[in-house]
Amino acid sequence: MSHPSPANGGSRHRTVALAAAAGTTIEWYDFFIYALCTGLVFSKLYFDGLGDDSLIISFATIGISFFFRPVGAALAGHLGDRVGRRAMLIATLLLMGVSTTLIGLVPTSDSIGLAAPILLVLLRILQGLSAGGEWGGAALISVEHAPTDQRGRFGAYPQLGAPLGLLLANGVLALITALTTDDQFLSWGWRIPFLLSVVLVGAGFVIRRKVDESPVYKELKESGSHTRMPLAVLFKSHWPLVVAGALLFAANNAVGYMTTGGYVQSYSVNSLDMDKTTILLCVMVAAVGWLASTMAGGIWSDRIGRIRVYQVGFVIQLIWMFPFFALLNTANPGLITLGLVLYSIGLGLTYGPQSALFSEMFPTAVRYSGAALSYAIGAVLGGAFAPMIAEALESSTGTVYSVGVYLTGITVVGLAVTFFLKERKGVPLGHTAPTDLGGPPTAAQSAAARIPSEETSA
């Protein structure tokens, strides 16, 4: 059997990584557009009959979709471990695109009454199912294609989808709010970003169809070692890893959802009387910082290890938590942007290495199920109701610093988990992972990890 040249191998790795990043960007654009419009639009057009509770209930609809992420993760994980990663990449992308486009067509409660919020929530649930299955496939196909010593770098590409999606979502909304009056935005302008999803998903579909199946999964299928019941095996032998991964991501996700979940935007507009376009532009600048720190976190983890990068990131989150809210309260766009950018450093360092870490935690036969479920459950614990909890805390205590206390607590949990995980950087993905929390590489695994890969990047 012939092997591709290093140059061809590097080109293929980049193609796969860019396809994963393009797909996750589109997925997260769709997901974030809903979150951003929750405080700015949906509380007024779909939940206005609830009075003072309309904003909190609107944020709760973000959380409802998160409970369907584990369902999507279980379905996509089972199929991804049974029939392959590539098919799930395409299926989850199409599901997200269709549901997002339909949200842009749902009439308001003034037109169809109670059916309006019900339809909105049902479509949001479909978004949750898609998001639950999407990340695992994108992460695995990037990491399993990558050279052993660059899994952090190539695994960071699907992670870029979140900051790129946030940047794109905020940019589109900022442009529309700048070109429309408040009445025009509420009447029809907000629908444009949802309808644009048709174009984006079409482009993503074309890109992802060009991606080959993961070589690690191909090897598994050829050897006949895949399992018919990956979820049963996962929870029988590897459930501590699922719990650890979920808690780790929850600490990142809760902090991230203060910006991506729409809370900062809503607080700035509704409590600080800031202009919508201004705060959206502030978040766009922060998304660039998040993008850079996410990529840096993935690359750095190839040098010093995934766990150490996570620990640095969580410590930065803790140090900057309350200064960030102090700058937010100034209502000064420059200071808020500074706060958000510095906030994004810790966020990126605890997000960039995630694809590589989660892929290395689980054996190939249950890797999709394990990674996807850890991610989805962590999203429920950390992000599901983070914006709603923040809104409720700020309303009941009268101070936004109570939100900082909440986020500090969940960050401490994430930091604590890192001390129970063992570094597995460099362990070949074709080997079966131990059933404890990571475990150190065996002598044979360490020796195999030192063998140069057949395909290295250019």
Q: What is the pLDDT of residue 7?
A: 43
Q: What is the pLDDT of residue 134?
A: 80
Q: State the pLDDT confidence band at 445, using cuts at 50, 70 and 90.
A: very low
Mean pLDDT for the stretch of residues 382-389: 79
pLDDT at 340 over 90: yes
Q: State the pLDDT confidence band at 378, using cuts at 50, 70 and 90.
A: very high
Q: What is the pLDDT of residue 52?
A: 66
Please, what CATH class does the domain formed by 6-449 belong to? mainly alpha
Q: What is the pLDDT of residue 224?
A: 56
Instruction: Round to whole Å and give the CA distance between 344 and 285.
Output: 10
Q: State the pLDDT confidence band at 228, using cuts at 50, 70 and 90.
A: low
Q: What is the pLDDT of residue 226?
A: 58
Number of alpha carbons in the 13 Å side-chain half-sphere of residue 251: 29
Q: What is the pLDDT of residue 296?
A: 97
Q: State the pLDDT confidence band at 227, using cuts at 50, 70 and 90.
A: low
Q: What is the 3-state secondary structure (H, E, C) of 255-277?
A: HHHHHHCCHHHHHHHHCCCCCHH
Q: State the pLDDT confidence band at 351, using cuts at 50, 70 and 90.
A: very high
Instruction: Round to whole Å and give the CA distance between 296 and 291.
Output: 9
Residue with more model confidence, 273 or 81? 273
Mean pLDDT for the stretch of residues 271-282: 90
Global model pTM greater than 0.85? no
Residue range 67-85, pLDDT digits in tens: 888 888 888 877 777 766 6
- State the helix-helix crossing angle for 161-179 and 151-159, rounded to 10 degrees: 30
Among left, alpha and beta (phi > 0; psi -120 to 50; other), residue 224 is: left
Q: What is the 3-state secondary structure (H, E, C) of the chain?
A: CCCCCHHHHHHHHHHHHHHHHHHHHHHHHHHHHHHHHHHHHHHHHCCHHHHHHHHHHHHHHHHHHHCCHHHHHHHHHHHHHHHCHHHHHHHHHHHHHHHHHHHCCCCCHHHHCCHHHHHHHHHHHHHHHHHHHHHHHHHHHHHHHCCHHHHHHHHHHHHCHHHHHHHHHHHHHHHHHHHCCHHHHHHHHCHHHHHCHHHHHHHHHHHHHCCCCCHHHHHHHHHCCCCCCHHHHHHHHCHHHHHHHHHHHHHHHHHHHHHHCCHHHHHHHHCCCCCHHHHHHHHHHHHHHHHHHHHHHHHHHHHHCHHHHHHHHHHHHHHHHHHHHHHHCCCCHHHHHHHHHHHHHHHHHCCCCHHHHHHHHCCHHHHHHHHHHHHHHHHHHHCCCHHHHHHHHHHHHCCCHHHHHHHHHHHHHHHHHHCCCCCCCCCCCCCCCCCCCCCCCCHHHHHHHCCCCCCCCC
pLDDT at 314 over 50: yes
Q: What is the pLDDT of residue 442?
A: 44
Retrieve residue 337's tokens: 């942007």
Q: Is the dihedral of CA 266, 270, 272, 274 positive or negative?
A: positive
Q: Of the given ranges (210-214, 352-356, 433-437), which has the lowest mean pLDDT?
A: 433-437
Q: Of the given ranges (24-33, 86-95, 367-376, 438-447), which has the lowest mean pLDDT?
A: 438-447
Question: Which burial class, exposed, middle or buried, applies to 151 when counting CB atoms under 10 A from its CB (0-12, 13-18, 19+)?
Answer: buried
Instruction: Round to whole Å and give the CA distance between 265 and 268.
Output: 5
Residue range 11-55, pLDDT digits in tens: 667 778 777 888 788 878 877 888 888 878 888 888 877 766 777
**Structure-derived torsion over alpha carbons of residues 32, 33, 34, 37, reported in degrees to the nearest 10:** 120
Residue range 251-266, pLDDT digits in tens: 999 988 777 667 888 8
Q: State the pLDDT confidence band at 369, using cuts at 50, 70 and 90.
A: confident
Q: Of the given ranges (35-39, 280-284, 338-342), which has the lowest mean pLDDT?
A: 35-39
Q: What is the pLDDT of residue 389?
A: 85
Mean pLDDT for the stretch of residues 305-317: 96
Residue with more model confidence, 345 or 364? 345
Mean pLDDT for the stretch of residues 368-376: 87
Q: State the pLDDT confidence band at 450, using cuts at 50, 70 and 90.
A: very low
433 touches 362 (CB < 8 A): yes
Of 50-64, 129-143, 265-279, 379-393, which has the strongest mean pLDDT?
265-279
Residue range 166-183, pLDDT digits in tens: 888 888 988 998 899 989
What residue segments make up the domains of the chain, in order of their start?
Answer: 6-449
